[in-house]
Amino acid sequence: MMTHKKLIAKMRSQPGYKEKYAEAAPEFELLRKMLKARKRAGLTQEQVAEKMGTKATAITRLESASSEHSPKVETLRRYAEAVGCRLNIELIPD
Residue 89 confidence (pLDDT) above 90: yes
Whether domain 15-82 has CATH 1.10.260: the reply is yes
Q: Could you give the CA distance from residue 85 to residue 81 in angstroms, rounded to a whole number?
A: 5
| Structure confidence at residue 67 as a pLDDT band (50, 70, 90) | low
Helix ranges restricted to H, 1-94: 4-12, 17-41, 45-52, 56-62, 73-82
- 8-58 pLDDT per residue, tens: 899 899 999 889 888 888 889 999 999 999 999 999 999 999 999 999 999
Which contacts qualify for 27-34: CB closer than 8 Å, 24 or more apart?
A: 27/65, 28/65, 31/63, 31/64, 31/65, 34/62, 34/63, 34/79, 34/83
